[in-house]
Amino acid sequence: MLAFVLAATSVGAVLAGDDVSWGHAKWVAIPLALVASAPVAWRARRPLLAAAIVLAANGLCAYAAAPHQAAFQPFVALSLVFYSVGSRFEGRLLAPLLLALGAAPIFIVAVLHGQSAGNAAPNYIWLIAAWAAGRTVRGWRHKSVALEQANRELEAQRELQAKAAVTVERGRIARELHDVVAHNVSMMVVQAGAARRVLDGDQPHVSAALDAIARTGRQTVDEMRTLLGVLRDHDDPAALKPQPGLADLEQLLDGVRAAGLPVTLRIEGQPRTLSQAADLSAFRIVQEALTNSLKHAGPASADVVVRYGQESVRLEIRDTGTGRPSGNGIGHGLVGMRERVAMFGGELEAAPQAGGGFAVRAHLPLAPA
């Protein structure tokens, strides 16, 4: 549209008889008007080529109009292509050369008019300003594109990290449950085999039932190990250790204290024997909550309260820190705690406290014995 407007006004002026600005020969002035205007149409795609053509056309227009002032349309086109060179052209060495060449037709005008070169300086400064404006816009555009790209990459990376962390956490829970269930089923197999051996009298139906229990139990354990064995690192010595529970909290707190977080433990109610899965999940919730306190609380202290009830166990872990994330994590610890609590149909509350600090409260319902 700009190229069309410039070409139309230039050719219209020539046809209207503007011999002063375009020269007396119309057969020269009309092609010059088109050559000086048409490159504006592709200045964004080919800025350097457009600038070279418009520069040459400006020089010819200045020569044709001498000793009078040349038409303003070619200079407008020159300003536009200089802006495009600044905003679109990637090269750095040719731009100053182009600016130097841009002075040529302007100084030619000054010389042909018998003026000093200083009188043409404002026009040259205008061209430099147009190029500088384009260069500034180009810098803003590149920063905006780079920022958008960085945001996209960061979002994709965050999603991948979140998926990976959730997958790892669920795999860890599945591995721990596999260990608990496989242990219990193995005990059932052993007990069924032992009962078969000490069975008194000829009781074929009972013997067949015990054999079926043992056979099915062994089959179940084999299938579980086949399906979930990939979750275990067989080279990890910790895999041979028994799974921790609430009875091991003092050992856990010793490690937390050694890491720099003073912590106290209070047991309320009558301690009771929990299922292995519930005992392990309760221990992991306390462990993850204290780990978060170490990461985010800063200089602080923490309290751990375990309340045993008839049908549930309640956990409360409070610290006196800032209660605000440090920005280095994205909440996967809370995801794992919520999954552990949800596994038993319980509830989890994790939030900053009004008086300062952060608290995690978990309620784990316990199935009847």
250-264: pLDDT as tens digits = 988 988 888 778 999
Q: Is the pLDDT higher at 207 or at 118?
A: 207
Q: Kindly tell me if the per-residue pLDDT of 191 is higher than 70.
A: yes
Lowest mean pLDDT among 240-249, 258-267, 345-354: 240-249
80-94 pLDDT, tens per residue? 888 888 777 766 655
Together in a domain, 334 and 300: yes
pLDDT value of residue 327: 45
Q: What 3-state class would DSSP assign to 68? A: coil
Task: Specify if 60 maps to a domain.
Answer: yes
Q: What is the mean pLDDT of the chain?
A: 76
| Interhelix angle 2-15/26-37, nearest 10 degrees | 170
Range of 331's domain?
246-365
Place 313 in a pLDDT band, splitting at 50, 70 and 90. Answer: very high
Together in a domain, 225 and 259: no
Cα 171 to its chain centre, rounded Å, is 24
- The segment with the largest mean pLDDT, out of 92-96, 103-107, 132-136, 326-330, is 132-136
How many separate domains does the chain show? Answer: 3
Lowest mean pLDDT among 40-49, 170-179, 302-311: 170-179
φ, ψ of residue 148 to 5 degrees: the values are -65, -40
- Structure tokens given for 325: 């994330």
Q: Kindly tell me if the per-residue pLDDT of 139 is higher than 70.
A: yes
Together in a domain, 286 and 352: yes
Q: Kindly tell me if the per-residue pLDDT of 325 is higher than 70.
A: no
Together in a domain, 197 and 254: no
Q: How far apart are CA 71 and CA 327, in angstroms?
A: 61
Task: Specify if 138 maps to a domain.
Answer: no
Together in a domain, 167 and 194: yes
Task: Specify if 182 maps to a domain.
Answer: yes
| Interhelix angle 47-65/26-37, nearest 10 degrees | 150
Task: Specify if 166 maps to a domain.
Answer: yes
Together in a domain, 300 and 316: yes
Q: Is the pLDDT higher at 10 or at 362?
A: 362
Q: Is the pLDDT higher at 25 or at 291?
A: 291
Q: Which helix (H) or strand (E) holds 223?
A: helix 204-228
Q: How far apart are CA 127 and CA 130, in angstroms?
A: 5
Task: Specify if 352 maps to a domain.
Answer: yes
Task: Specify if 234 maps to a domain.
Answer: yes
Together in a domain, 260 and 350: yes
Task: Specify if 123 maps to a domain.
Answer: no
pLDDT value of residue 228: 60
pLDDT value of residue 329: 44
Q: Which residue pairs, CB below 8 angstroms and at least 24 apart, start in 177-186?
A: 177/277, 178/224, 178/225, 178/228, 178/231, 178/232, 179/243, 180/243, 180/275, 180/276, 180/277, 180/280, 181/224, 182/221, 182/224, 182/225, 183/276, 184/276, 185/217, 185/220, 185/221, 185/224, 186/217, 186/221
Residue with tokens 């609430």: 246
Lowest mean pLDDT among 192-201, 233-242, 250-259: 233-242
For the chain, give percent helix, strand, coil, nearest 5.
65, 10, 25
Q: Is the pLDDT higher at 297 or at 232?
A: 297
Cα 227 to its chain centre, rounded Å, is 33
- Structure tokens given for 79: 């300003």
Q: Kindly tell me if the per-residue pLDDT of 324 is higher than 60.
A: no
